[in-house]
Amino acid sequence: MKDRGHAAARLTTLLLATLLALPSAARAQAVVAGAAGRAPVVRVPVIAAPAYQPSPALGGAAALPLGAAGLPQVPDWSLDARQMKEAYKAAEVRMLRTADAVAAIPAESRTFENTALALERAESDFQDAMLPLRFLSEVSPDAKVRRMADAIERRTSRMFQSYGDRSDLHRAYQEVAAKGLELGGLEKKLLDDALRGFERRGMNLPRESRDKLNRISRRLSDLSQQFSRNVSGIFEGIEVTREQLDGLPEDYVKGLEAAPEGRYRVTLDYPTFFPFMKYAKDAALRKELYLKFENKAAEANLPILGETLALRREESLLLGRQDFAHLVIEERMAKTPEKVKTFLERIKDLLKGPAEAEYQALLETKRQDDPAAESVPGWDRSYYANKLKQKLFSFDSEEVRQYFPVEQVIKGTLEVYQELLGVRFRELASDAWHKDARLFEVIDAASGRSVAYFYLDLHPRENKYGHAAQFTLRKGRALPDGSYQKPVGAVVANFSKPTPDKPALLTLGEVETLFHELGHCMHETLTQVKLGSYAGASVAWDFVETPSQMMENFVWQPEVLRRISGHYQDPSRKLPEELLKKMVAARNFLAATSHLWNAALAAVDLAYHTLTGPFDPAAVYREVFEAFGLKVIEPGTHPEAAFDHIMGGYAAGYYGYIWSEVYAQDIFSVFKKAGVLSPEVGMRYRKAILERGSSVDEGRLLRDFLGREPDEKAFLEGMGIKTSPRARRPGFAWYKPWTWFGFLLKS
């Protein structure tokens, strides 16, 4: 499975695991309509956040475009740990002073604008200051800065614990609601969401229960941080001789870290681990490395996982829900865990047979080396999958990489995005958190207007975030002076490193990952929503992956592959036609297994958050995978100890990956019908979905773009699965549910 965490989630809603819902507009999903015809507003003395301060290196107009105040419109990355602390404290003070002023307004003078809107702006100001500081924990090479960023996240969580427990702010919203104002639909939604947020914080419960919720939330926040640190901090692996690297590409060997006595260090980071499992001929070494990988952080994280699941259940019961999944999913598109279970059961029924056929093909491939083989263990899957792929499609993945040097890929990818979405990208000089990070400006092609900025930080280094993700650094939103704040994002990845004699050459999977994360980035930065809380990718969690997954499809189109490819020795040499055809034909290689695996992970997540009695997370993980026909969890391993997604925003929501992919394929079917690179469809997509954030219900976003109700036809047909005339939308219960949950419901 390709790990493509959407880390904007971890930052923009980093409090999800600790708060479940903020007691204000910060988690509403609407845009405030105009306030024409209202009574005079009682002004609130909002302590506005200052503009970003420029670092000394960014002081000239030649380096960066300047904002209205004459300052660069990107975060300042020159702050040391002490300055970060002071910047955070100042932002916190500003927000709390505004909250105090709002709370002090007399009931008779209270309006929507001086309460809900004022608090939303104050919280957005705080987020603008906090997000870049917190982000440094993931990317800064400075240990002191990373520690300070972690401390800022902990303090933010604790601050919002008390902020969300303020009865005076709860009363302020209730006083607005009691006015019976003729609010527009979006304004009403904003107010309703705020009041519901207080309910989900337990504000309608006795003080003792609220105190208990706060203690649980604080503990959950600490556990989530520790779990992630344990996973990302492990690079240990094995040390091997040159002879033991037989089968590995020479570029891979050159990129390995040297170890004593002429040996090489093969670590557990993704760019090192996965190629080793794919190419290394020594099965014993593959097994040794695999078992280390599947036990990564197990000793430290298994107790954390157990405590987390118990606390989440306790939290949901205090809030009157039967389990954590019901508490979470009621805020998502799916609305109920039952609908999700039904959806996953359908995916299992559709894909279990094709996935078993794929497994048997792998087993037959292994038997060519070992006639007595009865199974394909985890450490053999990638190796024999690669062998089978070569047999079926006869092309060398290493040959493919020669045509995807990172600079050519970036250039071609940005060109595709520009053509589709009606934008232009301009690279700017910038001092960022690391020399590898590059800054780009987003410009609307039609008007020439600058609309956003984003960074690319694409290569691995020690203590950097270990997966691929888009991080939100500043949300787009309307400012009090009527201008629109430009959003800022960052795409962080860990692509193959350059070697002394070659540039960084990307696998096709890495190219796909770049398209994916830039899909998130454009969703975040092309927003036109007035309120930052609802702008960009601040959509329902089971829709958030839709734009990014949709964009992956473009990688596999021949016209796109020709554009983004170019041999590293001569960029004019495009991907040969024969090789291109083989690659496209191979796209669905083991696709049923891949999707079934994702569905099984979603089922594990859902089981963890719906089971009522004591259970063993390791046993549940293994039994769910076996129920899905995936007997791949090796005895003594603990992959659940590194299942980082469910410690943050994807808790009880991992199903969102495959759920949103159904929508993604439906959207892409419109591009295919009109012409893959149709700028007309691309602009319609930008206007109907990307620019609107969560200003309207996600179902309406889809209907407005598609011109019909969404369905799963394109998703299934993309894998070669024929659909019946009764093809339904995701979650429709026209097939037998619950089967694979039977063993769980009895526990």
Name which of 493, 429, 430 is nearest 458 in CA terms.
Answer: 493
pLDDT at 631 over 60: yes
Residue 406 sits in the same domain as residue 282: no
Q: How far is Cα 585 from Cα 582, in angstroms, rounded to an integer?
A: 5
Residue 565 sits in the same domain as residue 416: yes
Mean pLDDT of the chain: 86
Answer yes or no: is 247 within a domain. Answer: yes
Q: Determine the pLDDT at residue 62.
A: 34
Over residues 531-558, the mean pLDDT reads: 93
Return the CA Rg of the chain.
26
Residue 467 sits in the same domain as residue 555: yes
Domain that holds residue 612: 328-385+591-739
pLDDT, tens digit, 9 for 90 and up, residues 60-95:
333 344 333 334 489 999 999 999 999 999 999 999
Residue 567 sits in the same domain as residue 595: no
Give the total number of structural domains in the chain. 4
Q: Strands (DSSP E) along 21-156, which ranges?
A: none
Residue 422 sits in the same domain as residue 560: yes
Q: Determine the pLDDT at residue 722.
A: 65
CATH number of residue 666's parent domain: 1.10.1370.10
Residue 367 sits in the same domain as residue 407: no
Residue 185 — very low, low, confident or very high, per pLDDT cuts 50/70/90? low
CATH number of residue 95's parent domain: 1.20.1050.40
Residue 346 sits in the same domain as residue 291: no
pLDDT at 732 over 50: no
Q: How far is Cα 45 from Cα 43, in angstroms, rounded to an integer?
A: 6
pLDDT, tens digit, 9 for 90 and up, residues 293-352:
999 999 999 999 999 999 999 999 999 999 999 999 999 999 999 999 999 999 999 899
pLDDT at 546 over 70: yes
DSSP letters of 431-474?
--SSTT-EEEEEEETTT--EEEEEEEE-S--TTS--S-EEEEEE
Q: Which of 272, 295, 318 is the last residue of a domain?
A: 295
Q: Strand, coil or helix: what is 365?
A: helix
Residue 165 — very low, low, confident or very high, per pLDDT cuts 50/70/90? confident
Q: Determine the pLDDT at residue 313.
A: 96
Q: Determine the pLDDT at residue 26.
A: 33
First-to-final CA distance of the chain: 29
Answer yes or no: is 202 within a domain. Answer: no
Answer yes or no: is 744 within a domain. Answer: no
Q: Which residues are paired to 502 by β-bridges? A: 499
Q: Determine the pLDDT at residue 398.
A: 86
Cβ proximity of 46 and 119 under 8 Å: no
Over residues 174-195, the mean pLDDT reads: 87
User: Is 517 labeled as catalytic in the residue annotation?
Assistant: yes
Q: Determine the pLDDT at residue 728.
A: 43
Residue 404 sits in the same domain as residue 336: no
pLDDT at 121 over 70: yes
Residue 572 sits in the same domain as residue 595: no
Answer yes or no: is 307 within a domain. Answer: no
Answer yes or no: is 41 within a domain. Answer: yes
Residue 157 — very low, low, confident or very high, per pLDDT cuts 50/70/90? confident
Name which of 322, 320, 319 is nearest 336 in CA terms.
Answer: 322
Answer yes or no: is 315 within a domain. Answer: no
CATH number of residue 497's parent domain: 3.40.390.10
Answer yes or no: is 746 within a domain. Answer: no
pLDDT at 116 over 90: yes
Catalytic residue among 92, 113, 331, 517: 517
Show Cβ contacts of residue 294 under 8 Å, excluding neighbours closer than 6 positions. Answer: 378, 634, 637, 638, 639
Residue 78 sits in the same domain as residue 136: yes
Residue 176 sits in the same domain as residue 122: yes
Ramachandran area for residue 201 (φ above 0: left; ψ -120 to 50: alpha; else beta): alpha
Residue 530 sits in the same domain as residue 648: no
Residue type, 358: E
pLDDT at 721 over 80: no
Q: How many CB atoms are closer than 10 A to CB 569?
A: 10
